[in-house]
Amino acid sequence: MPQTRRRTTALTAQLDREWDECYSRARIDLGELGVGTGGEWVARMRAPSADGDHTVLRALLERAGTGDAHAQRTVLALMMPKVMVFARTSVRSVTGADAVAVAVGAAWETIRTFRVTSGLRNARGSLVLAILRTILAAEPPAREIPCDPALLPEPAEITSEEVVDADVQVAGVLQWAMTAGVLDAEQVRLLVRLDLLGLDCRELAEQMSVAYDTVRKRAFRARRRLATAARDQIGRAEQPLPAAPPGLRQGPAPFEVRAVDLSVGWS
């Protein structure tokens, strides 16, 4: 597939061969958008000024939903760099080639079943988030992931009865920040794209049609505000709480997040 990836496995090598020999050359008719090969549609969506990115991807997803294998493989080719990031950062039950296979399988299933609705505003962002959700939904709780004690530098200690996935923790903190007024909705959307979806500042700047330094500075300010607020909140949480009256259960600390809503809007 078009972009270089950090890890090559038997599966990705096979996908690359099939893409180069067949799917990148197959012509796909997208109606009013015209006719182009899979490679041409991917190049158009990856162009720095890809104004039609959403429109093209939406049309491809609609065809993919009807079972069009060429459209499905074209969307997969576009998503593969992000899928490889998820294989490295979000699949924890297995490693190496197995993790790649899990991430690719989740992406393939998501692309085949993705529902294109009239309210879809950002096809790429919505698809990336849907793939991440599919991966995380299939992951077992961290306590169920086997680990060879010989691989641990020191004996493991259980410090909490509840283990929360790192991506869910990040989402929970961002939700708390917006609810508490630490960050506004636009800042939360920015950090979701960077820290949950794995986009880099240059890629996001291209999508938003703004300068790279603008995105970098916005992200820096948002993270600094979040870090300052989190330190203040943790400092208050460490102070002793007044004893609860007899028979009254002490409530959770304000920083605790019990439910996480990942359905963040896209501008």
Location of structure tokens 């300052």: 228
Please give the single-letter amino acid code of residue 153: P
Chain CA centroid to CA 221, Å: 22
Location of structure tokens 């609609």: 62
Whole-angstrom CA distances from 124 to 57, 127, 187, 197, 209 are 7, 5, 19, 11, 15
pLDDT at residue 22 is higher than 80: yes
The DSSP code for 36 is E
Most confident of 103-107, 195-199, 226-230, 255-259: 103-107
Q: How far apart are CA 252 and CA 97, in angstroms?
A: 41
pLDDT at residue 48, as a whole number: 66
Chain CA centroid to CA 188, Å: 14
What pLDDT, in 10s, does the model give residues 221-262? 888 888 888 777 665 555 554 454 444 444 444 443 333 333
What pLDDT, in 10s, does the model give residues 60-89? 999 999 999 999 999 999 999 989 988 888
pLDDT at residue 104, as a whole number: 95
The token duo for 126 is 């919505």
What pLDDT, in 10s, does the model give residues 32-56? 999 999 999 999 998 866 556 789 9
Element (H, E) at 191: helix 185-191
Q: Are 15 and 41 in contact (CB under 8 A)?
A: no
Domains of the chain listed by start with CATH number: 11-143 (no CATH), 164-238 (1.10.10.10)
pTM (2 decimals)?
Answer: 0.57
> Where is average pLDDT lowest: 92-96, 156-160, 183-187, 221-225?
156-160
